[in-house]
Amino acid sequence: MTWLYLKATPYPAEIDHGPAPEALANPYLAAELFLRKQGLSVSHANRLDVLPTLAPEHHSLLMFGDRYNMTPRQIDQVLNWTRAGGRLMFVAQSLWDEKTGQSNDLLLDRVQLQQSLSKDLKDPPPGTRDDPYPQLTKLYLEDEDAPAYASFDTAFHLEDPKNLAQAWANSAKATHMMQLEHGLGSIIVVTDADLWKTPAIDQYDNAWLLWYLTADTGVTLLFDTEHDSLLTLLLRHFPQALVALIALIGLGCWHFGVRHGPLLEPQGKARRQLQEHLRASADFMLRHDGQHSLLQALQQDILRRVRHRHPGYEQLDVAEQWQVLARLSGQPADAISQAMGPRLKQRLSRAEFSRQVARLQTLRNAL
């Protein structure tokens, strides 16, 4: 051990454990830290419940999360807050549908802007070939010779059919940011917010653009308006396990459920006689098929024999059929009517059922 200690050479090593839990939970953590360094007050929230606590004057609300669960009432609250002097920025989350005249983004429809795919544009902007950075979005400012560059996703394009926008920013292919006035406040719509996430915010002028859009205001970052329910998470991540659990619960209920019918004593190990086999078979058929099915089977057997002995029997009316039965079997007419006549769908007593079976068997044997 002493020799190993003397021969061992210490050296420094840096082990990368990956992002911190805070960074994994908040994709806009770097954006928050950057804005705080610029002297802005920054907070983030998961729900719109914080909106009544935010004074609209000199405050920016950045809605970068999923908004598909927003209700019309929540949209009214957000727009009223903006109209009172707030600055709202959100991501367009759905494409415009020409057939329905709307999109699945209620907030985008309310501000009367439309989003489409850049590849579907009919007339590309002029001068595209001369643009040295066609994939970057350019923002031109007064008293500045060169534009600011931001890396918006160029796959999407914003349309302003009512000409409401006061400012916008384009790439060589499409428009990716629009700003319009709303009462005392303003609304900024962007095609995506990935440029302000941790991997991309330090590229180009992405961080500066976020500061420019929120300058001189307090900032609340809303990136998860609604949490998914437990059932939604289970269906998304463990659908097979959930189906197996439901099937297991169903099988358990079926196994422990109350069975209909009397409990039968276990049969003895000794071989049963023929009469016992017949009785057991008859009891089984009676329990599962019912009285009327057994009586109907006997009647069908009788009719089959009569048709064999008297062709054209089924073409006779009921009275003539019973006369033929009485003549072929030698049974009186009242016995024929009791045996073959229709019966109500009600359970017969044990004695009446036995008498009816005896009548039918006597009639069948006579044929």
3-state secondary structure of 222: strand
Q: How does pLDDT run across 32-80, given as a tens digit for each residue?
A: 999 999 999 999 888 888 899 999 999 999 998 888 888 899 999 999 9
Give every CB contact of residue 43 below 8 A, 6+ residues apart in sequence.
218, 219, 220, 221
What is the CATH T-level fold of the domain 19-120+132-222, as seen in this structure? Answer: Rossmann fold (3.40.50)
User: CA–CA separation, 33 vs 90, rounded Å?
Assistant: 20
- Strand 87-91 relative to strand 218-222: parallel, antiparallel, unpaired? unpaired
Half-sphere exposure of 295 (CA within 13 A, CB side): 22
Type of residue found at 364: R
Phi and psi based region of residue 124 (left: phi greater than 0; alpha: psi -120 to 50; beta: remaining): beta
Q: Which pLDDT value is given to residue 328?
A: 79
Q: How does pLDDT run across 212-238, given as a tens digit for each residue?
A: 999 999 999 987 644 567 777 788 888
Residue whose token pair is 């197996």: 244
Give me the residue spans of the domains in the chain: 19-120+132-222, 275-366
Q: How does pLDDT run across 348-366, given as a tens digit for each residue?
A: 777 887 787 788 788 778 8
- What is each CA distance from 207 to 54, 122, 154, 213, in whole angstroms? 24, 32, 18, 10
Q: How does pLDDT run across 321-346, given as a tens digit for each residue?
A: 878 878 878 888 777 877 777 665 66
Q: How does pLDDT run across 185-195, given as a tens digit for each residue?
A: 999 999 999 99
Q: How does pLDDT run across 159-198, given as a tens digit for each residue?
A: 999 999 999 999 988 999 999 999 999 999 999 999 998 8
Give every CB contact of residue 115 below 8 A, 6+ residues apart in sequence.
92, 94, 95, 96, 103, 105, 108, 156, 157, 158, 159, 191
> Would you say 177 and 187 are in contact if contact means Cβ atoms under 8 Å apart?
no
Q: How does DSSP assign 49-70, residue by residue?
A: GGGGGS-STTEEEEE-S--TT-
pLDDT, average across residues 128-134: 72
Looking at the chain, the whole-number percentage of residues with pLDDT higher than 70 is: 83
